[in-house]
Amino acid sequence: MRGFFIGRFQPYHLGHHEIVREIINEVDELIIGIGSAQESHTLENPFTAGERILMVSKALDEIDPELRKRVYIIPLEDIYRNALWVSHVVSMVPPFDVVFSNNPLVVRLFKEAGFEVRKTKLYNREFLQGREIRKMMIEGDSWEKYVPKSVAKVIKEVGGVERIREIAKNDRIAER
Ligand code: NMN
């Protein structure tokens, strides 16, 4: 059985990590979709699809270096036509039998398309954490403890904190 799990992973944090740890035991193979792949360099979506692929890959290695043999990480751009989105996803990723999500729109769209959907725990709370972590980065609070160690390393490697602070500065200037 192959499962599908999608998130924006801005950044990939410990909430996501817990979900992946759990659902990887329920399936033979897992597809991790990097949602809103076209977005980067904004306050909501500071990291590129490639940087997010790096975060997820390195975090998987932290769980078990063998894990990547049964995980596919696929960037997926938004299409802004919800009624066609499931077909878009299906056209871009390997075939899958079950969807893991707690995002109400994602759940709704996959259910309507006839897929089995399993709700993930904590996901909404974790989504809020993504925003919290970005805020901590901007405000100079310590954010590292909310992401896997390898993800903190990727964020530092790509200059993620400096980037999000610059973007926040620009945003404030634009508001004036
Ligand atoms: O649960 P989150 O982390 O928000 O991830 C869901 C992802 O799925 C997001 O990137 C979202 O943009 C994407 N999505 C896109 C469409 C569309 O393009 N019409 C519809 C539903 C979800």
Q: Is residue 52 in contact with ligand 1, taking CB distance under 6 Å?
A: no
For residue 18, the CA-to-ligand 1 centroid distance in Å is 20
Question: What whole-number percentage of the chain has pLDDT above 70?
Answer: 93
pLDDT in tens, 133-147: 999 999 999 999 999
How many domains is the chain built from?
1
The residue contributing the CA closest to ligand 1 atom 2 is: 7
Q: What are phi and psi of 33, to 5 degrees?
A: -90, 130
Q: Which domain holds residue 98?
A: 2-175
CATH assignment at residue 98: 3.40.50.620
User: Based on C-alpha coordinates, what's the Rg of the chain?
Assistant: 16
User: H or E segment at 55?
Assistant: helix 49-63
- The set of long-range contacts for 131-136, using a CB threshold of 8 Å and a minimum separation of 24, is 133/11, 133/13, 134/10, 134/11, 134/43, 134/44, 134/46, 134/164
Contact 4, 93 (CB under 8 A): yes
Beta bridge partners of 2: 29
Ligand 1 atom closest to 78 (CA): 18
Query: To test ligand 1's pocket by mutation, which of 4, 6, 119 has the most ligand atoms within 8 angstroms of CB?
Result: 6
Q: What is the pLDDT of residues 26-71, one digit of tens each?
A: 999 999 999 999 999 999 999 999 999 999 999 999 999 999 999 9
7 CA to middle of ligand 1, Å? 7
Tell me how far the alpha carbon of residue 105 lies from the centroid of ligand 1, in angstroms.
Answer: 8
CA 176 – ligand 1 centroid, Å: 31
pTM of the model: 0.94
